[in-house]
Every structure is written in C-alpha cells, then in structure tokens.
Chains A and B, each alone.
Chain A
Amino acid sequence: MKNNILILPSIIFFLILSIFLYLLIIDRNPSEIPSNLLNKNTPIFEAKSLFKNEKFISANEFKDEIILVNFFATWCKPCRDEHVYIQRFADEKDLKIIGINYKDNNKKAIKWLEDLGNPYENVLIDKKGKIAIDWGVYGIPETFIINSNGIIMYRNVGPITNKIYKKINLIINKNE
C-alpha cells in the first residue's frame, strides 16, 4: 500500500497533462463562451421595427421556417466587415433574416443599410440593449440560427468569416 501511494503523484500528474494536451489539440477558442440558450426556445419579446409600422411580436415570428438573427450596429466595425456574408445569406439562400440594431441611432442605421444594402427582412430596434441581454449577447456582432420549431440551434460571437459562413450553411442545410 505504501509503495503504491508513492506512485500516485505521477499518475495524477499525467492525468492532468493529458487533459491539457486534449484542450490544446482540439479546435477551441479559449475566450469564446457557448450560448446558454442553445437547444432552447427563443426569448419572448416585442420590439419596434425600423422600417415597418407594425410591432414585432416574437411569438408570431419564430415558427414554421429557419430564421437567422443578426445583432449589429453602425458604430461596430466588425459588423461592417461581416455585412457581405449576411447579404450572401439573403441572396443565395431563401432565408428569413432578422436584424436587431443594438444601441444605435435610427437615422444612422437607415443610412448604413442604404449604403451597404439591406439583407434583413425586418430590422428591430434595441435602443437600450435589453433584447440583447435576453439573448445572452455579450459582444456584437452576434448571429443566431433558429430552426422551424423556434429552437436556437447555433450562435456565433464576432464577425462571420468564410469559415463560419460555411459552417452556418451546413447547419441551415441540415435543418431544412
């Protein structure tokens, strides 16, 4: 028994090191936090729309089809960078895209979309960031994929890159 105890430190040591090795090898981002809303229903909320007169009521909207929700702002540079991918989603796929304008100025947002193009079927106004908090948003831009049952399937933090664009495409195809 005494002899075996002495070998214990080395066993614990190797166990811990293997865990470290595993974490290094897999593809992970140490600063990204997975969404707590994955596989749950979308938050229930109401919001004013930037272009439409009627109020947006989430219960009526998140059903029957796959929806992409994108939090953005005109003052956010990465949002501008990823805009081209949002536009591609709108053009290439028959996808309903809802934009949520975070802590922004309405006039500036309208101009921004005029200049860059408007891929959004609807743009909601989140002046104080309360909707974002309900979605667990912590760093815009953020993009969510919701399936036809209103369940959040995927969330991306930060601008969409080519790699993420392909990933989202796969997810959309899987859920169609």
Chain B
Amino acid sequence: MTIFLGNLFLLLCLIFSISQFFTSQKKNRFRFIAINVNGLLICSFLSFSLLIYSYVISDFSVLNVFENSHTTKPLLYKITGVWGNHEGSLLLWILVLTIFNYFIFKFYNNDNSNFITKTLQVQGLITAGFLLFTILTSNPFQKTVSEQSNGMGFNPILQDPALAIHPPLLYIGYVGFSAAFSMSVATLFLNGDQKIPWYSYMKPFVLTAWTFLTAGIALGSIWAYYELGWGGWWFWDPVENASFMPWLIGTALLHSLIVVEKRKSLMAWVLLLAILAFLLSVIGTFLVRSGILTSVHTFALDPSRGVYILIFTALLGGYSLILFGKKSKNYFDNNYFALFSKEGSILINNVLMIVVCATVFLGTIYPLIIEAFINKKISVGEPYFNSTTIPIIIPAILVMGVGPVLAWNKDRKREIFKKILPSILLTIIMTTLIFLFYQSYNLIGMIGIILGFWIISNNIILLIKKNRNYSKGMLIAHLGIGLLILGITGSSNWQEEKITRLKVSKSTQINEYNIIFKEINEIKGPNYIAIEGNFMVYDKNKNYITNLKPENRYYPITNTFTTEASIHTNLSRDLYLVLGEGNLNDGWVVKVYHNPLVIWIWIGALIIFAGGIVSTSNNLKKIKI
C-alpha cells in the first residue's frame, strides 16, 4: 500500500511539475499555476510523510527502510535516517523545492505576472528533473524482495544530532539558490525592462539560502570535530568543497545585490552569480552521487545516476549560460567604480571570493582532469588548498573591515584614513592585550589574531558612531566572521598535543593541566557496548576541573567500531581526549589535545547565522510577507 501510494504521489508531482513548465505560457494561467504549485506542495509533502511513517513503524517491506533502518534505532534517528541515504535525501530535496516553489508563487501579481510565470517555468523544469531522476534511478518506494524481520541497520557514526539536521539546512541553501537561478533566467528574458525590480524578488531567496547554507556547513564541521576523533573540522574533502563553493558565490551574490539596489550597478554580475551558485550546487550533487570520485561522504556510487545528473546539469547550465552570453548586454551599466568606496570594496571582495571559488574548484576537479588526459592519479590535498586560498582570503578580510565604514560613491583618501584610524588603534590595543596575556608568539597566529580583531574593531566603531545607517544583520554577521577568524587561528596555530601510554592510576600533563587515569569500565548503550576510560582533570593549582570519559564503542548490528572523544569546553580552550588501544597490563594509549579558542569557531558561525536571520527577516518585513 505504502509502495503504491508513494509512487502515486511521486508521479502526481511529476505531472504537476511538467504541467507547471508548460501551462505557464497559457492565457488563464493564474488558476493553472495555482493548481500546479499547490498540487506539487501537497503531493511532495504526502510522499515525504509516507516515507517518514514507514521508517517510524519500521516497515521493512519498503526497500529503502530495510536498507537503512533498524528497530533498535532511537526514534529521532529513525526519522532523520529518512534523509541520511541517497533516495530519501532526494525526497527531501523535492519537498524543499516545492516549498520554495510555493513562496515564489506568493509573489505573483498583475504587474510581475510574466516575470514570476517565467521563473516558475524554470523552477518547474528543475523540479521535474529531480523527480525524473528520483523515479527512474533512485526511487525510495520499492518493494523488498523477500520478507525481512529487521533492517540492515545504519552507520552509527551518522547517529548524531548535528549530522541529522545538516542535510535539511544544506538543501534549503541549494534550493534557495535554485530560486535565484530561475529568477535570473526570467530576468534575462525581460530584456532589460526597468519596470520590474527583479533583484528585490531575488533578495529574500538569496538571503535565506545563504543563511541556511552557512548553518549547514557549520554543523557539518561541528559534527566532524566532535565525532571523528582527531580534532579536525575541515579537510578540503571534495564534498565539503561542494558546499563551500556555492557559499562563496552566494556571499558575492548577496553583496552584489546590495549594490544593485543602491546604485543599479553590477546587474550582469548578479545574474551570472545567481546562475553559478545553483550550477555549483548541482555539480556538487553530481560529484557526490555519481561515483566519479570516492570520498568520506559519497552516497550512491552508480555511474548511470551520474550520467543522468550530468545531462540534467548540461541542459540547465548550457541553456542558462548561453542565454546569459546573449542577453546580459541589456544589463550592463556604465557606472564608474571608485576603488575607495563602499561599492568598490564590495567589488574587490566579490572578485576575491570568485577567485577563491575558482581555485577550490580547480583543486577539486584537477585529479579528474589529469586522469582523463594522461591516465595518472595525483592527489590534491589540504596543503594545496591552504597555500592557495589563505593568501587571497587575507586581503579580503582587510577589505571587509573597511568596506562597511566607507561611503557610497567616492571617499577621499584622507576621509577614509580618519574613518579607519579608530579601528586600527583598537585592533592594536586588543592584539597587544591578548599577547601580553598569552605570551606565545607565532607569525601566522599573530596575523590571524590581528585580522580577527580588525573585523571586530570596525564593528565596534560602527556601533559607537552616531550615524545608524547600517544594516544590523550585516553588523552581526561580520562580527561573527571576526570571532570565527579568532577561533580558527587559535585552534590551528596553538594546538598542543600529548600522546602517551598510561596505566590505570597514572597521570599525564598538558599545558597547565594534570590528567589522572582513574579507571576503565565497560558500559552498555542502546545499540552498542563500549570500553570507557575515566580521567580526572586538575589545573596547576590542584583545582578539580572535570571528568573526561572517552569511549571505544562496538555496534553489533553493523559490526563497526567507533571512538568517542571526550571534550571539555570553555571559552578559552577545549580539552580533547581520545582513548586508544590497550590492556590492563601494558596500559592504554591516550591522546590529549589542548585546543585554544575552538568554541569561538562555533560561536562565530552561530552569530553569522543569526546575522543572516536578522537580515532575512528585516528583508521579509520590508517586502511584506
């Protein structure tokens, strides 16, 4: 029954989306479009709910449930397991697509009917593409061949709250960019008609997409840090890059939209960036799901799925880019950009964001290009990305501090100096204070700290200024970036590590802490058994700080082992302890990290997200939604 209904709803969605693509040209179209939009929303919601229901009741007659779930999984992870696999995640994609589709339609009025209709046409094509892909190659509603009493379990590493919410956040990002993409194509068809403020329609979608993509990426990194056991949170893995590239283009797009609104300039830029942001999202989807490369993250390794996504991407991208090539001339302007102005600094950072994005893209696909041409395999790893992107990001951060302070149009150089002098002084003061306190010098670290305080100082100066003519969301988000930089600098440059073998009741020291190995226990969890080490942490004054209890777990259902690090966090550092192998006679391998300022990475990311939310809600209020 479930199988039948699920397939029925998917088929209805497909019909509605194709109908939305075609009927969008008809005369009496408001009614038609309304039926399609609402039909899409209802049917995708129903099919998604059906899949969730199947997981919750553990209906193993549905192949997708059998392959990815198990009766012993906690309820929360049964539900989030729906999108933790390839087929289910596509259903989530489709649901979010139909939700955004609905919101695009809400803008429809007599004045913009052509524009919105065209947007919905493109959006219908995109939705139809995803539906066809799902129905033909990745259908979750398939019947399990023989009767099964229980499922094949699920990777225990993925049973984590951060990871559970990570995909929905990312998909809101990607789908938001699809709306911007559709609007960009629709705008190109307008041939430069000045009457429609297409950028005003685009803005809420870009803001929403960027904000949630930020959160999605941050949660992925948080999960990696807490779960993977060696204290890293960014590896320049192809799948991480796949989400980072749309983010970079999205940031450039966001800021360019501001310039378009203010000065009617950079319009062609915005149209191209809107196309690229979504294209990169789709190419990212391709890289992850086609089996063309292997990474920590890849889902479905199936070349036929890859060919499908490739054709879909080629159609969307080819059409939109060729259209851009032909029609973007209508949106050129002859505006002069003084370098030392607000729009000048936005332009500079736009370019820098795009250069970083192009470099990351190059590094990610280069091994594939080399393999295609000379059939040799090379690796492009973290050292490459760090050495190519950081030198570009540093000037971007410097400009980012100055930008909000500058005026539109031109600012005289002496004026500028007067404006930024307070922040330069404040930066110097803050940096000096920190180093007086911490006394540990390291060139790259110092540069990082200065950059972080540079952003924060400029924000503080803006706050103090009498002129309240800035966006609150921008202030918050930029502050978040400053804190993020401090966190990244602290944890990368001043990390201390101690690797040792300890017997029970012995101790080790790191930084100013004394860690005593109190005992080792066996414990039982809902679907695992584990060895747990109990460590007591004291500071240099013999004050008790905390107990650290790292575990090594065994999950019988999937026959996998995981390590759970034990972390004690405060505002100045993380203490991160991992238990290795060992036995009562020889002692146990113990790895301790002292990671300064790590929590500021997550706080910074959260504040960036908050800034995005503030900007988005202010924007939605302005356009009266």
Binding site for B on A (CB under 8 A): 3, 6-7, 9-10, 13-14, 16-17, 19-25, 28, 30-31, 33-34
Contacts and interface: CB of A to CB of B under 8 A. Distances in A.
B293 A6 contact: no
A22 B377 contact: no
A17 B321 contact: no
A30 B293 contact: yes
Nearest to B275: A9
B294 interface: yes
B286 interface: yes
B310 A17 contact: yes
Nearest to A21: B310
A7 B291 CA distance: 30
Contacts of A7: 322, 325
Most buried by B among A9, A20, A33: A20
A176 to B, nearest CB: 26
Most buried by B among A17, A22, A24: A24
B262 interface: no
B310 A9 contact: no
Interface residues of B, number: 33
A27 to B, nearest CB: 10
Interface stretch (B164-172, B311-319, B409-417, B532-540): B311-319
Contact of A20 (B272, B326, B329, B368): B368
25 contacts: A6-B324, A6-B325, A9-B276, A10-B317, A10-B322, A10-B324, A10-B325, A13-B279, A16-B365, A17-B313, A20-B290, A20-B306, A20-B368, A21-B310, A22-B372, A23-B372, A24-B290, A24-B303, A24-B306, A24-B307, A24-B310, A30-B291, A30-B294, A34-B376, A34-B377
B338 interface: no
B307 A9 contact: no
Interface of B: 272, 276, 279, 286, 290-294, 301, 303, 306-307, 310, 313-314, 317-318, 321-322, 324-326, 328-329, 365, 368-369, 371-372, 375-377
Contacts of A30: 291-294, 301
Can you list the 5 inter-chain pairs with the closest CB atoms, starting with the nearest? A10-B321, A7-B325, A6-B325, A31-B294, A24-B306
A21 B307 contact: yes
B310 A20 contact: yes
Contacts of A6: 324-326, 328-329
B375 A13 contact: no
B313 to A, nearest CB: 7
Nearest to B279: A13
A42 to B, nearest CB: 21
B368 A23 contact: yes
A23 B272 CA distance: 28
Nearest to A16: B365
A171 B400 CA distance: 61
A141 B621 CA distance: 64
